[in-house]
A and B are shown apart, each in its own frame.
Chain A
């Protein structure tokens, strides 16, 4: 019988098969091709190595960047928060001691670890990629088996370049059809999570398939794979194709010359065989999909932007009902309120989910020639210093600044508020990030997860909006229409 893509990648990395069969089997020992490191989940792992007198086995398969704690303003000054500064300095010291390549704040390759890896060409099809960060699933967009790990596992990978893992079950997410204008990858994944729930993917590797997925760019595929963890799946992937190869070709660490040909020949084998079976299949219709938005405090609590805040009584399951009641209370929302009537204070465009160049372009296209609602604060935080440079070369920074948005330096920023970019208690935010948990973006802050174009349209109107809700843009030097 054939194999799924995830099984192929798994099998190619088995160092040692676990003894036994079925549920009682020991885990397999898998080789790890790339270990991404950041300042938050690594200090205790480095310390563990030091205490045990163990070396870092493969510095040449390890790369570090500073992202969670880094400020997005005044990056030339010392980090004001002492504990943040200490954690960054600890990473610098550890990388120096263990010989790890590090891209520090101020470096052109610094940025969110999940933006940096693909952009350098270090993430490639068929690899195993890990990081002490649950959004490592992002790298699955290349057909890599990529997953978040805890700090004990970070130390394990540092010491052995392997991980002990029990095989996953497989789930196909079939997305067929064509997305309508204004509907994007973020809406697909929010709809998937709403459909299968935050626990629906637990124990599974997801494979996103179908014509709607094939039509997506790499940046968009990364958005989808990024949020696999919000459905409970540790990893999610997309089979590599011509779109993948075109993205990779010429990147600094992409194979070159004959190596490229050899790599492509291997990558072409990385797809689910026709006679392979998934443990579960889920279908989503792209044709009818609308912009999606969350109303609650977990990413599964989402609906179409055209709908209204749901009534807790509509949920059959008692736990879901209680969760909905609690969420509405925290979010300060009344059931039955149209989502588009909800006013926001802040719009955040950024995070490992939506901070790549295409995300910035899509948002800029919506706001170009339009005015920001004066009561709304908008933060634009590119995913990496390289994305920022690219955006500036295209003049996107000017579009955002003229609109009245704050153009910041790269990092995780307001996705989780480990740096000064946080919501105030009670503040409401339309955010392109990945988690709407209580207090995630700042104590008492309220988060609605949205796509970049919905974020941009919301900044114009001040209420949750899609681009189709906007009046035609006014004529300006930066538009090409000649309508009056």
Chain B
């Protein structure tokens, strides 16, 4: 995973709550078996509408999405994070993220920064009054700057550390393989195994 320390880019105000993963990427795009190339799928239904924010300059070149509360609700599809990343987004700001989406973001180096809704509203105003304003997201100091707005954001320390270091989760876990093996040895025998297969 790429390291994330700070990012500065055009902010995109998405004044909408409950942006679910079916809107971020509809199911029809989940048939692909690759992990990249999902930029065309991002918000594909909404992008058919010419007035949608990503169809307007300079927002189409945005890299910091500023969304309403409950962003990423619904499905566990990591494709939602891939689509945002493939389009060029480096960070999403919201006052509340769905748990699975937030987790998926952390695994893929997309920063999900949780701000107070009041600060989100202030940033929306700046971005709407002066389209093209850049948003600086600083993971080291856990702050966001946009125009005259400076706001703190929340992210759990562990995810922050992994993003700052660009660490591979599986590699980290396998450092503790002995612990896994020891746990497996204590597992009760009544717990089921899928193999050998038994059927009715």
Mask: chain A, 246-258; 1 = CB below 8 Å from B; 0 = not: 0000001111000
- Say how far B46's CB is from chain A's closest CB, in angstroms: 9
A121 x B98 contact (CB < 8 A): no
B73 x A160 contact (CB < 8 A): no
> Which of B32-40, B50-58, B126-134 forms part of the interface with chain A?
B32-40
- Interface residues in A160-188 (C-beta closer than 8 Å to B): 160-162, 164, 166
B192 x A122 contact (CB < 8 A): yes
Query: In whole angstroms, how far apart are the Cα atoms of A262 and B189 in the complex?
Result: 9
Q: Does B148 contact A (CB under 8 A)?
A: no
Question: Nearest chain-B residue to A320 (Cβ)?
Answer: B17
- Interface residues in A408-464 (C-beta closer than 8 Å to B): 416-418, 435, 437-440, 443
Evaluate whether A159 and B174 lie within 8 angstroms (CB atoms) in the complex, with A152-B104, A266-B190 already known. yes
Q: Does A362 contact B (CB under 8 A)?
A: no
Q: Does A69 contact B (CB under 8 A)?
A: yes
Query: In whole angstroms, how far apart are the Cα atoms of A322 and B16 in the complex?
Result: 8
B199 x A438 contact (CB < 8 A): no
B158 x A27 contact (CB < 8 A): yes
Q: Give which listed residue, A161, A233, A259, A418, contacts B27 with CB less than 8 A.
A: A418
- Say how far A37's CB is from chain B's closest CB, in angstroms: 10
Q: Does B166 contact A (CB under 8 A)?
A: no
> Which of B6-14, B76-84, B85-93, B135-143 forms part of the interface with chain A?
B76-84
Mask: chain B, 185-200; 1 = CB below 8 Å from A; 0 = not: 0011111111101111
Q: Give chain A residues whose Cβ lies under 8 Å from the Cβ of B27.
A: 68, 416-418, 440
B184 x A148 contact (CB < 8 A): no
B34 x A134 contact (CB < 8 A): no
B195 x A101 contact (CB < 8 A): yes
Chain B residues with a Cβ closer than 8 Å to the other chain, count: 64
Q: Give chain A residues whose Cβ lies under 8 Å from the Cβ of B74.
A: 134, 229-230, 435, 437
Evaluate whether A31 and B184 lie within 8 angstroms (CB atoms) in the complex, with A23-B157, A232-B99, A418-B30 already known. yes
How many inter-chain contacts with C-beta < 8 Å in the A-B complex? 224
Q: Give chain A residues whose Cβ lies under 8 Å from the Cβ of B97.
A: 202
- Say how far B19's CB is from chain A's closest CB, in angstroms: 10
Query: In whole angstroms, how far apart are the Cα atoms of A320 and B117 in the complex?
Result: 13
A323 x B17 contact (CB < 8 A): yes
Query: In whole angstroms, how far apart are the Cα atoms of A416 and B22 in the complex?
Result: 9
Q: Give which listed residue, A43, A234, A262, A322, contacts B100 with CB less than 8 A.
A: A234
Query: In whole angstroms, how far apart are the Cα atoms of A292 and B75 in the complex?
Result: 22
- Interface residues in A122-159 (C-beta closer than 8 Å to B): 122, 124, 127, 132-134, 136, 148-153, 155-156, 159
- Chain A CB count within 10 A is highest, among B17, B34, B35, for B17
- Say how far B188's CB is from chain A's closest CB, in angstroms: 7
Query: In whole angstroms, how far apart are the Cα atoms of A383 and B135 in the complex?
Result: 47
Q: Does A104 contact B (CB under 8 A)?
A: no
Query: In whole angstroms, how far apart are the Cα atoms of A122 and B99 in the complex?
Result: 26
Q: Give which listed residue, B26, B33, B157, B183, contacts A86 with CB less than 8 A.
A: B33
A43 x B33 contact (CB < 8 A): yes
A435 x B22 contact (CB < 8 A): yes
> Which of A53-61, A209-217, A350-358, A365-373 forms part of the interface with chain B?
A53-61
B96 x A202 contact (CB < 8 A): yes
Q: Does A326 contact B (CB under 8 A)?
A: yes
Q: Give which listed residue, B45, B76, B188, B189, contacts A41 with CB less than 8 A.
A: B76
Q: Give which listed residue, A61, A150, A159, contacts B103 with CB less than 8 A.
A: A150
Q: Give chain A residues whose Cβ lies under 8 Å from the Cβ of B23.
A: 437-439
Q: Does B125 contact A (CB under 8 A)?
A: no
Query: In whole angstroms, how far apart are the Cα atoms of A115 and B179 in the complex?
Result: 33
Query: In whole angstroms, how far apart are the Cα atoms of A132 and B80 in the complex?
Result: 13
Q: Give chain A residues whose Cβ lies under 8 Å from the Cβ of B191.
A: 33, 124, 127
Question: Nearest chain-A residue to B46 (Cβ)?
Answer: A438
Query: In whole angstroms, how far apart are the Cα atoms of A86 and B33 in the complex?
Result: 8
A34 x B192 contact (CB < 8 A): yes
Query: In whole angstroms, how far apart are the Cα atoms of A34 and B23 in the complex?
Result: 30
Evaluate whether A153 and B107 lie within 8 angstroms (CB atoms) in the complex, with A232-B70, A439-B22 already known. yes
Question: Nearest chain-B residue to A197 (Cβ)?
Answer: B70
Q: Give chain A residues whose Cβ lies under 8 Å from the Cβ of B69.
A: 199, 319
Q: Does A109 contact B (CB under 8 A)?
A: yes
- Say how far A308's CB is from chain B's closest CB, in angstroms: 22
- Say how far A207's CB is from chain B's closest CB, in angstroms: 17
Question: Nearest chain-B residue to A266 (Cβ)?
Answer: B188
A26 x B100 contact (CB < 8 A): no
- Say how far A109's CB is from chain B's closest CB, in angstroms: 6
Contact residues of B with A, CB < 8 Å? 15-18, 20, 22-23, 26-28, 30-35, 45, 68-70, 73-79, 81, 96-100, 103-104, 107-108, 156-158, 169-170, 172-174, 176-177, 179-180, 183-184, 187-195, 197-200
Q: A202-B70, A439-B26 are in contact. List 19 more A-B contacts (CB 8 A).
A: A15-B179, A15-B180, A29-B180, A34-B192, A41-B78, A44-B78, A90-B33, A109-B200, A124-B191, A134-B75, A136-B76, A149-B103, A150-B78, A160-B180, A199-B70, A232-B73, A253-B192, A319-B17, A439-B22
**Cβ-closest 6 pairs across A and B:** A152-B107, A150-B104, A150-B78, A148-B76, A43-B33, A252-B198
10 interchain pairs (CB within 8 A)? A29-B179, A101-B194, A108-B200, A150-B77, A152-B108, A160-B177, A198-B70, A229-B100, A255-B192, A418-B31
Contact residues of A with B, CB < 8 Å? 15-16, 18, 23-27, 29, 31, 33-34, 40-41, 43-44, 47-48, 52, 54, 57, 59-63, 68-69, 81, 83-84, 86-87, 90, 101, 108-109, 120-122, 124, 127, 132-134, 136, 148-153, 155-156, 159-162, 164, 166, 198-199, 202-203, 229-230, 232-234, 252-255, 259-260, 262-263, 266, 298, 300, 319-320, 322-323, 326, 386, 416-418, 435, 437-440, 443
